[in-house]
Structure formats: structure tokens, C-alpha cells
Amino acid sequence: MSTNERHNLSRRGFFKAAATATVATAAGGALAACAPAGGSGSSDGGTAANKAQLAFEAAAAPIEPVEPPATWDEEADVIVVGSGGGGITGSVRLVDAGMKVIMLEKNEKTGGTTSYGGMFVNFGGHRLANEVEWAYPSYPYDPNEVVAYVNDLQQMTVDPELLYAMAVEGPQCIDWMADALEVPWAPASKGPAGMKSLYWEGQITAKNSIEIMHFPFEMMTETAKQHGVDIRTGTEALALVVDNGTVVGIRAKTADGEKFFRGTKGVLLTAGGFEMNRAMLSKYAPTCLRGVVNVATPPYNDGACIRMGLGVNADLSGYNSVACFDGSVEWEPYDEFATAMNAHVNKDGNQAVRQPWLLINRMGQRVPYLSTAGTSYPFMNTDPDSMVTALTDQGAVEMSQPGGRTYVCFDSKYEDLVNENYFGQSVCRVGKVIPDDDPLIDRVPEWQRDWRNAFQIMVDAGAVKKCDTLEELEEALGLRTGVLTQAVKDWNAACAAGEDSVPTYKYDPSWLIPIDEPPYYGAKIGGNLFATKCGLRVNKHMQVIDAEGAVIDGLYAGWHTAGGSNGENNIAGKPFNGIYGDVGLSFVGGYMAAGAIIEAR
């Protein structure tokens, strides 16, 4: 790399001044607009509001780097922060290339958000897909076609060089994981197109897809240790260490106090995004925050690594972009200055509200329902390959309604219909009752073995409203008088006529089931956030780029700490979580970053 391509970072004083100015400007402007008429100190209420506002701003502020210590506590070739999918693939690939790696994980177990994940959604190009001659958008697999297809969906807002590198290295990562990590890949469904979603063979059954990644991640962690990765759980990264413009290590908190870890060849940040950090969502994904009602993967991903990158003047990419599923219920009321997002892992209880019931917005308009059933009914989703994409598209539909909320309504007939999967939905819209003889039953908490238990938890908590009359339900949902009652009246008339009354996205006639048997159920629903897509800008080598377009020496980032994989202003994740869905993106990011570090040594 030539000298003029490198960026010589300023010393600590510059960072401190810049960070302070950023926070002061943001907080000051906001406080000027929000301060009570009598001034910020005019009352206890005003002081409390100011403190809340300042705390909110601080939760999104850059984390300043620190200077090197006089003596380093520990040293390795590469310090990896985060033990999820990217941390595992990156660390193992590095040690297999002969490097010493210390992987830091702030929790007491490895996996992070990846351990909540499921399928490795992909576009083909790997051995299993080639054996059955499958690729998307067409076979044989062509990275150029993938780039053109994905970037078109994302309105050409993704760096094409970076996207091409992902398209090339992603299939390599899948095959490498099968070889180096001994991952027994299997298609998630029958037929060639089943290769789009890969999982660990033996980790799901027909009725049980809960915690798909839990035991595989335990296996991969043990494999990483056997390869020589030095894994430090209970070790929280606090700040980047910078020397003469180069990132050279990490200051971390351990059970024995603070330690400095030196990375002679670099630092790889791969500790996820900022799903749990509401202040960062407000700043970097405000439209998404408006429509998100729940986080599916607590307590991880507080955005600390991204804030560390901002502290060394890193640029961001992927503004206003997240990945969400549909049909998450609003558990708690809106709190303007809450710094942590609402987070409830209640996956199977949500299935009751994710069916094609009556869906309206606060104006009373019917909201489209995008099916995963592959129905041929006019205006419905008919492409079987876009089955999982319908989930994120439906999330975008719900999130983009007035006020960022959709309202669902159904009656007491729901239980039998969900139990029978009457509407023919697939993937994670199926309400599961896991039989006692399921070979994987031990990994499922007892309450979660029957979707009805999880649904009842939502009713008891008031997240799902249960009322004897539609008028009561309308009031409980906070809708204007007459909005819900008129919508139900129109719905029931269409049911009686046997034909949907809306002009587009019509329901199959068999789905038109009248709402006429109390008690009545309803909920505010929106996006179920599982990944943020705004993060540190990286080039095709996963090197972090600063705000002037130069490489920050010594600093690498994997997805989802890195941003831009889903483009800009992508509020739910079209196509499904980008070019690689769910856990796959994390695995690919660590694999790519490790390859670049190996190449640069």
C-alpha cells in the first residue's frame, strides 16, 4: 500500500476534542430544542429530562482510543473481539495460517447473537449447490449476476467491489467451514432450491427448530480451541489502542482488572451491531427505530465496537438499514430516552399474530400480507425461492405504516387454525407443538414446547389484548373510535361474499374467516429486529475506512460491526439479510477479514 493511501491518525488529544465536540453539538442542539420554557434548570422535571437526554446521547457517543501502555500485558499476532460467527471463522483461519490469535468475549460463553441464529442463507456457488446444479439467480453460479441482482434490489447503494468480494468468498467460506470446522452442512428443505438455506445436519427436526445454533456453536468453539485459538471469555473490550496512527491493540476489562492486549498484525472487530442500543438506532437508523418493536437476540450487540471505530474517525456505511422479521408485538410503551431496546425472546408465541388475519393501520386501511405459502392466488407471492424474503418484506410493510405500527385482529377461532397451519405458512410462521419424543426436546425450555404457552405469556403481559367486545379492543389498542369496528364490519362483509374487497394483495377466499366469535384478540405489531446493517465502512479487504476515505491501519471489521452489506435505507433487509442471510453473513465477514490479514503479512 502506498503512503498516500494510508491515513496517519492524530494522537489522543485530537480524538478527545473531536469526540467532545460531536457530543456537545448533538446534545446541545437537541437540548435547545427540547428544554422546558423556563430553562433547563427551572424545575426538577426539566433537570431530569436533561439528564436523560444527555445519558441518551452518551450511549451513542464515540469511544476514544487510548495510547499504548508502557508494558503490554499480553501479545498475539491478531486480537479478535467477539466470539460469534465472524470471530470463530476469522480466528480459526488465522491460526491455521500460523498466526497466534487471542479472541476476547465479554460474556461467559461464546456465540453471541450468532447462537440465536439459524440458516446460512446463500446464493449458491459452494460444493453442495454445484452438485445439484443450483444457484440464484441462475445456474451456473456467477458472482457478477449475483452482484447485479442484489444491487438492483438495493437501488445500487452497495459498494460493488465489496459485494463482488462477498459473492466470490462466501461460497469458499461454506466449503472451508465444512473442511476446517467439520460443519455437516445440509439443505433446509427438499429439492435443489433447498440449498439456499443450509443448516447443521441433525440440528432440526420436523417440529423443532429452536436454538438451531446452540449445540453447533459449542462444537465449533471446541474445534477452535483444538486449532489453537486462545479464547478469553469474561473479557470486555473497552477501547482501541492507537500508536502513531495505527491500531495496535485493545484495552479490556477482565476478572483480574484491566489489561492491554497487543495485536502486532492487527485488530479484528467482529462483535455484532447495535440492536440493543436505542440511542444508536435513533442516530443511525431512525426510520427503522420508528417501526421496530422488539429485539430478538438480547442481551448482545450494544454497538461498543462501532463506537470504538468512531473514536478513531471511522466512516459509517449502511445508514438506516436493519434486518427484521415481521409480526413482532409491542411489549412496552414508547420511551423517548430509553437507551436499551425492548427485548423478548418469545419466537413461537409470535406465530399466532403472524397469520393472514385482519391487518390494518391506524387509519383503518387494510395492510398487505405477503405469504410464504407459495400460493398461486392473484397478487400473492408465488416465487418459492423468495419464501424467506417474504418475511423481511412483510416486516418492511408493517414498519412503514403510519406511526410505524400495524394492528392485527382475530377471534377465538385462532387456536385451531394455527395448530393446523390452516393458512399453509412456512419457515418460522408455523406454530409448533414439539412432541415429547422429539430427539432434541431437551434443549427446549418446557414453556416453549407449545406455542400456546408463549402466546399466553403475551396475553398475560398485555402485549396481546384480549377483550369481550370489538369496541373494548379498539380502545385497548389506542385506535380512534370506529376505526377497528368499521374495518371488522368491512372484513366480515367480504367473508360473507367470499371475495376479498381490497384491490390488490387479495387474500385467498379460504382465508376470509369472519371475526365474530368473542373473545377478540389484537396487538400492535412491527419489526422484529435481529441485526443492524449500519456499521463501520470497510473495503473489499474488510479494512476499516476513515471519514476521508483512507484505510485505518491495523483495524479490520467483520459483519455486523462492519456496515453496508444491505445498502442504504433498507429498513427490513431485502433480499433476506443481504447476500448472505442470518448467521451466514457473520461467518463470511470473519473469513474475509482473516484472508486479508493473511495476505497482508
Q: Kindly report, residue by residue over 523-557, the tens digit of the pLDDT.
A: 999 999 989 999 999 999 999 999 999 999 999 99
156-195, pLDDT tens digit by residue? 999 999 999 999 999 999 999 999 999 999 998 888 888 9
Within a domain: 537: yes
Clarify whether residues 82 and 226 are in a common domain: yes
What average pLDDT does this structure show over 14-41? 36
Q: Residue 7: its pLDDT value, please? A: 40
Residue type, 526: G
Least Cα distance to 570 among 147, 121, 154 occurs for 154
The answer to whether residues 259 and 215 belong to one domain is yes
Provide the grid cell at 403: 406511526
The verdict on 518 and 536 lying in the same domain is no
Give the three cell numbers for residue 585.
453473513
Taking residues 376-400, what's their average pLDDT? Answer: 66
- Written as nine digits, the cell of 183 is 460443519
Average pLDDT over residues 217-232: 92
pLDDT (average), residues 349-360: 92
Number of neighbours of residue 474 by Cβ within 10 angstroms: 25
pLDDT, position 378: 43
How, if at all, do strands 257-269 and 74-81 pair? parallel
In a domain, 31, yes or no: no
Looking at every residue in the chain, the average pLDDT score rounds to: 87
pLDDT of 530:
87
Cβ atoms of 367 and 406 within 8 Å: the answer is yes
Query: What's the CATH number where 428 sits?
Result: 3.90.700.10
pLDDT tier at 21 (50, 70, 90 boundaries)? Answer: very low
DSSP conformation class of 362: T
| Structural domain count, the chain | 2
- Is 314 a domain residue? yes
Query: What is the C-alpha to C-alpha distance for residues 527 and 571, in angstroms, rounded to an integer?
Result: 9
Angle between helices 85-96 and 583-600 (to 10 degrees): 30
Last residue of a domain, one of 509, 529, 549: 529
| 167 and 119, same domain (yes or no) | yes
Amino acid letter, 254: T
Q: Are residues 271 and 358 in the same domain?
A: no
377 or 540: which carries more pLDDT confidence? 540
Q: Which residue has the higher pLDDT, 402 or 21?
A: 402
Binned at pLDDT 50, 70 and 90, residue 337 comes out as confident
Judged against a pLDDT cut of 80, whether residue 9 lies above it is answered with: no
Q: Do 431 and 345 belong to one domain?
A: yes
Residue 40 lies in a domain: no
CA distances from 265 to 71, 79, 98, 260 (A): 18, 9, 12, 15
Angle at 395 between CA 394 and CA 397, to 5 degrees: 60
Q: Is 343 within 8 Å of 116 (Cβ atoms)?
A: no
Residue percentage of the chain with pLDDT more than 70: 89
Residue 558 pLDDT > 90: yes
Which one of 472, 502, 529 terminates a domain?
A: 529
Give which of 281, 406, 418 is closest to 348, Cα–Cα.
418
Indicate if the pLDDT at residue 27 is higher than 80: no
Looking at residue 290, its pLDDT comes to 92
Same domain? For 305 and 409 the reply is no
CA separation for the pair 159, 451 (Å, rounded): 42
> What is the C-alpha to C-alpha distance for residues 422 and 281, in angstroms, rounded to an integer?
37
SS3 string, 201-256, reads CCCCCCCCCCCCCHHHHHHHHHHHHHHCCEEEECCEEEEEEEECCEEEEEEEEECC
Whether 247 and 364 map to the same domain: the answer is no
pLDDT at 379: 44
- Find the range with the poorest average confidence among 156-165, 196-205, 357-366: 196-205
Q: Does one domain contain both 83 and 191? A: yes
CB atoms within 10 A of CB 412: 14
> Omega into 402 within 30° of 0, i.e. cis?
no
C-alpha cell at 256: 483480574
Query: CA 575 → CA 297, 565, 581, distances in Å?
Result: 21, 11, 9
When pLDDT is averaged across residues 564-577 and rounded to a whole number, the result is: 83
Tell me the residue type at 271. Answer: A
Question: What pLDDT does 335 receive?
Answer: 80
Q: How is residue 540 written as a grid cell?
A: 473489499
Integer Cα distance of 236 and 239 in angstroms: 9
Full domain range(s) for residue 152? 75-321+530-600
Distance of CA 386 to the CA centre of its chain: 19
Helix/strand/coil (H/E/C) assignment for every residue in 290-348: HHEEEECCCCCCCCHHHHHHHHCCECEECCCCEEEEEEEECCCCCCCCCCECCECCCHH
Predicted pLDDT of residue 17: 37
Are the beta carbons of 319 and 568 closer than 8 angstroms? yes
C-alpha 54/C-alpha 475 separation (Å) is 35
What count of other Cβ atoms lies within 10 Å of the Cβ of residue 554?
25
Quote the pLDDT of residue 25: 33
272 lies in a domain?
Answer: yes
Q: How many residues does the chain have?
A: 601
Cβ proximity of 234 and 106 under 8 Å: yes
- Apex CA 74: angle with CA 72 and CA 77, to 5°? 105
16-30, 260-274, 535-549, 551-565: least confidently modelled range: 16-30
pLDDT at 355 exceeding the cut of 70:
yes
**SS3 of residue 129 by DSSP:** helix
> Which of 472, 499, 529 is where one domain is finished?
529
Residue 305 lies in a domain: yes
The alpha carbon of 498 is separated from its chain's Cα centroid by a whole number of angstroms, namely: 39
pLDDT digits (tens, 9 = 90+) for 110-150: 888 887 777 788 999 999 999 999 998 999 999 999 999 99
CA distance 572 to 343: 17
d(CA 147, CA 576): 15
Task: Give pLDDT tens digits for 449-464.
Answer: 888 998 999 999 999 9
d(CA 482, CA 480): 6
CATH number, residue 536:
3.50.50.60
Q: What is the pLDDT of residue 305?
A: 97
Claim to verify: residue 497 and residue 594 sit in the same structural domain? no
- Domain match, 316 and 335 both: no
**Same-domain pairing of 373 and 522:** yes
CA 151 to each of CA 155, 163, 322, 537: distance values in angstroms, whole numbers, following the listed order: 6, 8, 16, 17
> Taking Cα atoms as reference points, which of 375, 430, 65 lies closest to residue 250?
65
Within-domain flag for 6: no
Report yes or no on 238 lying in a domain: yes
Backbone phi, psi, residue 230, to 5°:
-90, 100
